[in-house]
Amino acid sequence: MTDSASTRGRLRRSRWLAVTVVAVLLVAACGDGDDDDASEAAATTAAAPDAGDAGDAAAADVGCEPGETDGDLAFYNWADYIDEELLVAFEEESGISVDYSVYESNEQMLTQVESGAAIYDLVIPSDYMVALMISEDLLLPLEFDALPNAANIDDAWDNPPFDPEHRFHVAYQWGTTGIGMTYDMLDTLGGESSWAVIFDAETAALVPGDISMLDDAPEAVSAALKYLGYSITEVIESGNEEAVREAGALLKATNDRLLKYDSVTFGDDLVNGEVDVAHGWSGGFAQAFFETDAYETHVYTIPIEGGVRWVDTMAIPHNSDNVCSAHAMINFLLDAQNGAALTNYTYYGSPNTAATPFILEEILEDPGIYPPPEVYARLELIPQMGDLGLIVQDMLTEAKS
């Protein structure tokens, strides 16, 4: 564990944990809490398949050995999504340099990979984006013989719908999407978080300051769908364009009361008072609360209607120059202690079972990061959107116009 990760190990304030528990239990009280549903929902990324199942000629011809490198690594990742001390440690261990750059959305990353304007050896696409990139032949199948540490990934993440043969990805981090707010705001809502605080005009009028949403079309549309009572999975898999357009109309009606759409500073904006309610990712809020010691005043909540769960993955673009170096970095990050250092920095959930003994207890015990089964069952992956994807993008564009 790096020194900076250790520094993040101060215990959270008791009210942060207690109120988060109350918020999620309130969610649980409103549904059936079926543990079987929660278990079924838990299948999202994966234990490594046999290397023989993973190959196509493009990857098999490379024949990387564990730890082998073939040049400096071009690593393209989400902003603030790795402890840079891990990059330094990899450089020292491997003897190569890491050219590290960041993006703010899956779509930005996809555009760069598609265009070839810059060549990357390793990217971190989210679940639904993996499926899209596979369908467009933008990813290389992985060589699992070069990834012995893939055995550390919990088998609960096996055979996900976005890569059912588990050939093109390994899990990186997972988390949820919900609402951050002040405790005062949660009290005003009667102690119960709901998407109504964003989408219902009367409820939103109770917010003393401003509101923000993620600048991410699938996330924004999914939040609106949950508020409207839809299953995200059913809408996307059935091609329900009418429901997507209904969600888009709701976003457009909501736009005038939003301060902004933002996918980078939402946690900081909340704790510094720029907004009082923010739509965002669990770890982003946790990081912001830690850095400002804001646990007594702010909380991350999963709305009573449910929300999105997601997994980000490690994958190798089809035009990678240094495929072996990419495998070496993936295997490095799948090491138990390195995997723990990653989670201790990001405050997102780890799919790495071997990392668990090294993860901070405050993270493992936080229901905002590891929701209890009855809450987890109300969270949905965003499926690969197919033809609806362009309409979903249009809905956010039109809402913001």
pLDDT of residue 57: 37
> For 244-325, where are the E strands, in sequence order?
260-261, 277-281, 298-301, 307-314, 316-317
In this structure, the dihedral spanned by the alpha carbons of residues 49, 37, 360 and 24, taken in order and rounded to 10 degrees, is 150
pLDDT of residue 39: 35
Are 340 and 352 spatial neighbours (Cβ–Cβ below 8 Å)? yes
Residues in the chain: 401
- The single residue listed with the structure tokens 């909380």 is 299
C-alpha distances in Å from residue 328, one per residue of 33, 83, 86, 176, 211: 41, 17, 13, 28, 42
Strands 170-182 and 298-301: antiparallel
Residue 137: exposure state from Cβ atoms within 10 A (0-12, 13-18, ≥19): exposed
Rounded CA separation 368/290 (Å): 14
**DSSP string for residues in 323-348:** HHHHHHHHHHHTSHHHHHHHHHHH--
Q: H-helix or E-strand containing 388?
A: helix 388-400
Rounded CA separation 63/60 (Å): 6
pLDDT tens for the chain, residues 1 to 401: 333 333 333 223 223 333 343 343 333 333 343 333 333 333 333 334 443 333 343 444 568 999 999 999 999 999 989 999 999 999 999 999 999 999 988 999 999 999 999 999 999 999 999 999 999 999 999 999 999 999 999 987 888 889 989 999 999 999 999 999 999 999 999 999 999 999 999 999 999 999 999 999 999 999 999 999 999 999 999 999 999 999 999 999 999 999 999 999 999 999 999 999 999 999 899 989 989 999 899 999 999 999 999 999 999 999 999 999 999 999 999 999 999 999 999 999 999 999 999 999 999 998 889 999 999 999 999 988 888 999 999 999 999 99
